[in-house]
Structure 1
Amino acid sequence: MFDYRTGKWFAGQGSIWSPVQCPAPFAEGLGARVLNLLPLLLLGLGNAAPVRADGEPAPASVELPTMVVTATYEPVSSFDLPFAIDTVQQPQIGDGQLGVNLSEVLPRVPGLVVQNRQNYAQDLQISSRGYGARSAFGIRGLKLLSDGIPASTPDGQGQAATLNLDVAERIEVLRGPASTLYGSNAGGVIQMFSRDGYGSPKLGAETTFGSDGFNKNHLYSEGGNDQAGFLLDASRMDTDGYRDHSAARRDQTFAKVNFKPDDDSRMALIFSSLEQNGTQDPMGQTWDAYKRDPRSVAAAAELYNTRKSIDHQQLGMNYERYFGDATLQVNLYAGQRSVLQYLSIPKTVVSNSQRGGGVVDFDRDFHGGTLRWIQPLQGVPGDLTVTTGLDYDQSRDDRRGYQNFSGDQLGVKGELRRDEEDIATSLDPYVQARWAPGDWTFDAGLRYSSMKMEVDDRYLVNGDSSGTKTYRQYTPSLSAMYAFSPNLHGYVSAGKGFETPTQAEMAYAPGTLESFNFGLDPATSSQYEIGLKAKVAGSTRINAALFEIRTDNEIVVASSTGGRTSYQNAGKTLRRGFELGVQSQLSERWEANLAYTRLDATYDQDFVENGSVIEKGSHLPGVPGSSLFSELVWHPRQDISMGLEGQYRSKVYVEDSNEAKPAPSYAVFNWRTRFEQHDGPWTFHELLRLDNLLDRQYVGSVIVGDSNGRYYEAAPGRSWYAGAGLEYSY
């Protein structure tokens, strides 16, 4: 990766140092109807040059800078990587956005579906090519990282809220077979990299207000030079929520110090925290309740005062040292997370259960690290680099469950009904090679992934559910790219991955509520991808990919009663899809982005769920067939930016039989503008944003397979936001 401050190249997956600032990657768009013409179209475009009406070459257009990414451990231009990868850069992260949720910026990445639940107690729902769509809370089946620190536990559960957009330099999104390089539960990889403090010291403050009681206040300070830098950041977000009983307060802090111990090494120390106290949980809605009043909340949510509190802190260290052409990278981290959640499981059900309860209370300690060696090899044709590494991660939960009542009082912590220690540990060695002889590029990797789940049951009234299970799998990947011309590359990619059950999915065994489900097997998948990447006249980038994913032992619901959900392996699923993205710098003043995904995700084998047969060909719930994001940005002056966003999503099935009412398709439009002024050491900026311009009523996200039929989560109608900030440079 090129360090634009020092003029030097440096290496690093999860690197703590920032790349060249450049606009976001080519978003992906257009429809499946062009699929048959796409190869011919791109072959022509890859060699095309603009021509005027008189036959003379047109004046040179504004060129898009090359995007350098580190998701494959060594820095490489995204155009030269033989798989689907996109980068969202800081200008897009901060241009007219609120800086609260990943749903503000990730829809521009094809293959991803990002649903804002309007429920801060349950976090976002993010899926990549169908991976993670089933998750009822948090992120599942995707690998999340922030500055090399996992935001996912070894068993595959993740928390997107810990990725702080206020400090983000860029977000890299890896999809397809190459994501298996990150081991188990890596159906896709989302990595956020924070910026370094640089330049003269500065102090800034901003505030934003908006619909439904939204208010965010943000303070920061940063500065640095080629030898050292610092970044301090703190924010508080308050909202009453669009729906009833959905108020939230989120406090985030971040601190980073980066420095060079000597000429051959770099180091960064990073601390971050997230605190949410008493975040209200409105739960899902039935279809009738949603249609009657999209702001409505289930009666049980108010009866039991459903809510969640989170207290999360983590500390990390990144270190790089150069030994000639080789690079040593070391990452270490540790943290603590406490969660207290009050559910609405009926008193009668909780009273009759001998395990669990309506109150979830756990304290999690987590730690881990990475040791990696990147070695260029000489004496072979072309460029050959071999990377070897070892990842270690562990999360230890002191988990308790209580009744959610005491006497006749509901929604309080009552009698203890669960007391156990859950430990998830992974230790993964891997090797990867990248070889570029002439017009060919080859990437190959092999990882030995393991995840060990240990349960120490200390609540023995109902027997002992203690036990251990270890999941192991080799996850290979192989990719090849050919440069038809400097502006047109074609590639193929294949890989095998596996997805272990999470602690929540193993919590209850089918047929009984009183034992841990050690009988669940991991889901295994074979992934294939073929794609084209093209540059047109230097000002337009196009990415296209066809993919297929065949999965065995998919983890699905076995039964769901009384608030208790057990899981089983359901045989086979098949996912086939198409992604297309376009980013174009139309002129100095205009920019356009488009991201389109078509995905057909079905069960490829019959299975039984809750006593009913789910037939082969049924659609996987939570996965829209088509998703489209489009954006037109205008810069009338250097200090003014205006953008119009459009987003379309087709209908979404909500449970495996596909018999319940699907969430209907929708299309919404958003408008934003940002102004900036400079006066000596002072910089001022203003923000105005309008979401859902046409005031459409629609379902923004779904809760897959909810046992009470409360599948739907309404999105807000027309909403407004306005903010202002100032910055002083010393």
Structure 2
Amino acid sequence: MKVVAPTCFAMLLPSLLGLQQTALAEEAPLILDPSVVTGSRSASRSFDLPYSVDSISREQISDGQLGINASEALSRVPGLVVQNRQNYAQDLQISSRGFGARSAFGVRGIKLIADGIPASTPDGQGQAATFNLDTADRIEVLRGPAATLYGSNAGGVIQMFSRNGEGPPRIGAETLVGSDGLNKHHLSAEGAVQGAGFVLDASRMDTDGYRDHSSARRDQTFAKLNLEPDDDSKLALIYSSLEQNGTQDPLGQTWAGYKADPRSVSSNALAYNTRKSIDHQQVGMNYERYIGDATLQVNAYTGRRSVIQYLSIPKGTPTNELGGGGVVQFDRKFYGGGVRWMQPIDSVPGELMIITGLDFDQSEDSRHGYQNYSGNTLGVKGELRRNEIDTARSLDPYIQANWAIDRWTLQAGLRHSTMEMDVDDQFLSNGDASGNKTYQKNTPSMSVMYAFTPELHGYVSAGKGFETPTQAEMAYAPGAIEGFNFGLKPSESTQYEVGLKAQVNNSTRVNAAVFQITTEDELVVNASKDGRTSYQNAGRTLRRGFELGIESQLSEQWSANLAYTRLQATYDSNFSNSGKTVEKGNYLPGVPQTTLFAELNWKPRDWVSTAVEGMYRSKIYVEDTNQKHAAPAYSVFNWRARFEQKVEHWTFHQTLRLDNLLDRQYIGSVIVGDGNDRYYEAAPGRSWYAGAGAQYSF
């Protein structure tokens, strides 16, 4: 497969920036200097913050995008690798500077937050599908040492904020169709009435899937009510739900199977009808009150999540006969909240803010496992093989100081992170699979920035963090029939970052950072066989990298974006894995060394915009020895356009999109350490999408 080297994009950049001479500096959009709250906890210009943090605007999230997967927006952020598995049963794989790359399903190692409410459980499991992109106002992404102030499993923070209901009430409808049987229908209503803002949203997405046995239906609903009870307070009430019934799981594919037919699936996927159903609902509250110069912030949430998943574990294997079985079912209750006090200090030079807070989160799973057959019938719920209550909880106090004085900005903080995992085995009469494990650690972070000029800032950031194993990673002890792996230790990291932030002629923003992360007791796959995946600690790892982000308003009609990451993620010591020696210097699987995103946008009139996107990703190793066939490097190009018309109270819009313009065949994502050598998940060839919508404003 022929790929375009990243240097091709780099060669284009000077010519794009050469258009700068025609830029209208006075009319550069505010997107070049957004305000963010992630990291500092209060609204601040990202340019003034001494760490890597990016904000993706509402326009970037929605303009010409499908509004289905967070990968549509997150690919433009340096340091992030977002792999769309083309598998709605397993969700996106997201890694930040290498954290989270080992995840076989869902998101690990990164804190997901929506409207201040965690979308990750206390043990660090999350699902980006719970983000409702149709209601998103912005997404903020924090990377590096400052992320450790958000607790364990915070190799990075991805925080989505929904928009508030504002302006005259309006209702809308939208429909989208595309390749592989995709269709999405969307209804919305929002606005403000007598000071109360509201946002209501409901959508249904259906797809046959690119690969065989990968059809899905997703229903999402969202409701938000924002109020101002008095002049000194704000209140937001939020409800959201996600429902997926019978989502087919195509599993990974072997290299030979992928080369023979990229759309093909393993025979086990068909024999056992691998699939997953999800029913997720939650409610939350955010309250903010100004008390003199100080601010009090309180949030609380609760919800439930039910999942049943049919796996392809073969009949007759120990896991299916005596272990946890081939059908996983759990009913989760989760709740929590946080309180934060933000106090400015006037008795010192400059501007000093002291922030103290306490976060509490708990999830309780009633978890069952069943054989995935009954008699000779495969892919059905059979005999009970697992019955337990798994409880994960965290209670984390923290303190943080933000101090700006003259040209200096200092941010420092300390969090005491705790994660307790409790297992109550109700299947075995002696309950010998029960147990309890508590992980805790103080995670400090400090960042310092100096303003060389008003347009050029430099900073240094350092911090310590730790990442606990998740419930799924503790579920099996190596070599055992049943029982949790309470012997797993958390991985502990030391992170350093040095960066520059520059604004050129008020129309171009450049962020550059170099970083180093050393990790002890890295969590890796120990063995994955017959549906049973166990984990182990693997000594030291070393990550060194460079990130570059450029966003430029080239002229009144042209804009460009570039996100480049170079990451060398290697094992820094030898270790033994399933009888094989993994040598120092081997690359961490699932982590490409080079990623590049580039975009050129043209908006000749207010009612039309069009853009070309390009993405390059270098090869990805699939397991620790680096001996199996790596997923090859690839380059893809996409095109999109959006049109809008306004007629009195009506606003109409149309969307056209073509992905993978050159019809490349490539591996879009990998399953790290799969014991059946089914590492590879193919991405679609050339795909088309078309949508239209209308909105009426009262």
Q: Fold conserved (TM > 0.5)?
A: yes
Structure 1 counterpart SS, 2:75? helix
Q: Distance in 2 between matches of 1:394 and 1:193?
A: 22
Deviations 1:354-387 (A, max 9, x none): 2200000000000000100000001101100000
Q: Which residue of 2 aligns with 1:62?
A: 27
Describe the shift of the 1:376–1:100 C-alpha distance in structure 2 as closer, same or farther (beyond 3 A).
Answer: same
Counterpart selection for 1:524 from 469, 488, 492? 492
Q: Distance in 1 between matches of 2:413 and 2:401?
A: 6
Q: Which residue of 1 aligns with 2:402?
A: 434
Q: Which residue of 1 aligns with 2:583?
A: 615
Q: Which residue of 2 aligns with 1:636?
A: 604
Q: CA deviation at 1:561?
A: 2.4
Deviations 1:660-714 (A, max 9, x none): 0000000000000000000000110001000000000000000000010000000
Q: CA deviation at 1:227?
A: 2.6
Q: CA deviation at 1:531?
A: 0.2
Q: Distance in 1 between matches of 2:337 and 2:393?
A: 12
Percent of pairs identical after alignment?
A: 69
Q: Distance in 1 between matches of 2:533 and 2:302?
A: 31
Matches within 5 A, 1:547-566: 547-566=515-534
Deviations 1:336-367 (A, max 9, x none): 00000000000011576422000000000000
Counterpart selection for 2:224 from 247, 256, 280? 256
Q: CA deviation at 1:74?
A: 1.1
Aligned residue type for 1:715: A
Matches within 5 A, 1:598-677: 598-677=566-645
Aligned residue type for 1:541: R
Residue 712 of structure 1 pairs with residue 677 of structure 2 = no
Deviations 1:241-268 (A, max 9, x none): 0000000000000000000110100001
Residue 341 of structure 1 pairs with residue 306 of structure 2 = no
Q: Which residue of 2 aligns with 1:183?
A: 151
Counterpart selection for 1:369 from 329, 332, 337? 337
| Aligned 8 A contact 2:319 2:532 in 1 | no
Deviations 1:202-246 (A, max 9, x none): 010000000000000000001116832001000000000000000
Calculate the aligned-residue CA RMSD, in Å.
1.9
Q: Distance in 1 between matches of 2:93 and 2:460?
A: 29
Counterpart selection for 1:236 from 178, 187, 204? 204
Residue 546 of structure 1 pairs with residue 514 of structure 2 = yes
Structure 2 counterpart SS, 1:157? coil
Q: CA deviation at 1:563?
A: 1.7
Q: CA deviation at 1:62?
A: 3.3
| Aligned 8 A contact 2:50 2:447 in 1 | yes
Describe the shift of the 1:713–1:351 C-alpha distance in structure 2 as closer, same or farther (beyond 3 A).
Answer: closer
Matches within 5 A, 1:6-405: 60=25, 62-65=27-30, 66-71=33-38, 72-224=40-192, 227-350=195-318, 353-405=321-373
Describe the shift of the 1:652–1:390 C-alpha distance in structure 2 as closer, same or farther (beyond 3 A).
Answer: same
Q: Which residue of 2 aligns with 1:10?
A: none
| Aligned 8 A contact 2:24 2:507 in 1 | no
Aligned residue type for 2:28: E
| Aligned 8 A contact 1:462 1:514 in 2 | no
| Aligned 8 A contact 1:406 1:413 in 2 | yes
Q: Which residue of 1 aligns with 2:445?
A: 477
Structure 1 counterpart SS, 2:480? coil
Describe the shift of the 1:517–1:51 C-alpha distance in structure 2 as closer, same or farther (beyond 3 A).
Answer: closer
Q: Which residue of 2 aligns with 1:703?
A: 671
| Aligned 8 A contact 2:345 2:354 in 1 | yes
Counterpart selection for 1:572 from 519, 535, 540? 540
| Aligned 8 A contact 1:685 1:724 in 2 | yes
Describe the shift of the 1:722–1:439 C-alpha distance in structure 2 as closer, same or farther (beyond 3 A).
Answer: same
Aligned residue type for 1:62: E
Q: Distance in 2 between matches of 1:491 and 1:30?
A: 27
Structure 1 counterpart SS, 2:329? strand
Describe the shift of the 1:564–1:323 C-alpha distance in structure 2 as closer, same or farther (beyond 3 A).
Answer: same
| Aligned 8 A contact 2:204 2:218 in 1 | yes
Q: Distance in 2 between matches of 1:544 and 1:64?
A: 21
| Aligned 8 A contact 1:30 1:581 in 2 | no
Q: Distance in 2 between matches of 1:351 and 1:67?
A: 51
Deviations 1:511-558 (A, max 9, x none): 212211110000000000000000000000000000000000001122
Q: TM-score, normalised by structure 1?
A: 0.92
Structure 2 counterpart SS, 1:660? coil
Q: Distance in 1 between matches of 2:619 and 2:559?
A: 30
Deviations 1:373-411 (A, max 9, x none): 000001101100000000000000000000000000000
Aligned residue type for 1:632: L
Structure 1 counterpart SS, 2:258? helix
Aligned residue type for 2:219: D
Aligned residue type for 2:548: L
Aligned residue type for 2:673: G
Describe the shift of the 1:132–1:59 C-alpha distance in structure 2 as closer, same or farther (beyond 3 A).
Answer: closer
Q: TM-score, normalised by structure 2?
A: 0.96
Structure 2 counterpart SS, 1:505? helix
Describe the shift of the 1:446–1:59 C-alpha distance in structure 2 as closer, same or farther (beyond 3 A).
Answer: closer
- Bigger shift: 452-461 or 643-652? 452-461
Structure 2 counterpart SS, 1:283? coil
Q: Distance in 2 between matches of 1:504 and 1:717?
A: 33
Q: How many residues align?
A: 686
| Aligned 8 A contact 1:355 1:462 in 2 | no
| Aligned 8 A contact 1:30 1:594 in 2 | no
Describe the shift of the 1:631–1:33 C-alpha distance in structure 2 as closer, same or farther (beyond 3 A).
Answer: closer
Structure 2 counterpart SS, 1:551? strand
Residue 448 of structure 1 pairs with residue 422 of structure 2 = no
Q: Distance in 1 between matches of 2:397 and 2:8?
A: 40
| Aligned 8 A contact 2:318 2:481 in 1 | no
Aligned residue type for 2:552: S
Deviations 1:612-633 (A, max 9, x none): 0000000000000000000000
Q: CA deviation at 1:59?
A: 6.8
Describe the shift of the 1:111–1:32 C-alpha distance in structure 2 as closer, same or farther (beyond 3 A).
Answer: farther
Describe the shift of the 1:60–1:355 C-alpha distance in structure 2 as closer, same or farther (beyond 3 A).
Answer: closer
Q: Distance in 1 between matches of 2:527 and 2:226?
A: 50
Q: Distance in 1 between matches of 2:422 and 2:443?
A: 23
Q: Distance in 1 between matches of 2:283 and 2:320?
A: 42
Q: CA deviation at 1:271?
A: 0.1
Structure 2 counterpart SS, 1:417? strand
Unaligned residue ranges in structure 1 (runs of 5+): 1-28, 35-40, 53-57
Q: CA deviation at 1:325?
A: 1.3
Q: Distance in 1 between matches of 2:501 and 2:240?
A: 37
Q: Distance in 2 between matches of 1:167 and 1:531?
A: 33
Describe the shift of the 1:136–1:536 C-alpha distance in structure 2 as closer, same or farther (beyond 3 A).
Answer: same
Describe the shift of the 1:644–1:513 C-alpha distance in structure 2 as closer, same or farther (beyond 3 A).
Answer: same
Q: Which residue of 2 aligns with 1:425?
A: 393
Q: Distance in 1 between matches of 2:685 and 2:430?
A: 48
Q: Distance in 2 between matches of 1:619 and 1:161?
A: 29
| Aligned 8 A contact 1:143 1:150 in 2 | yes
| Aligned 8 A contact 1:351 1:403 in 2 | no
Unaligned residue ranges in structure 2 (runs of 5+): none
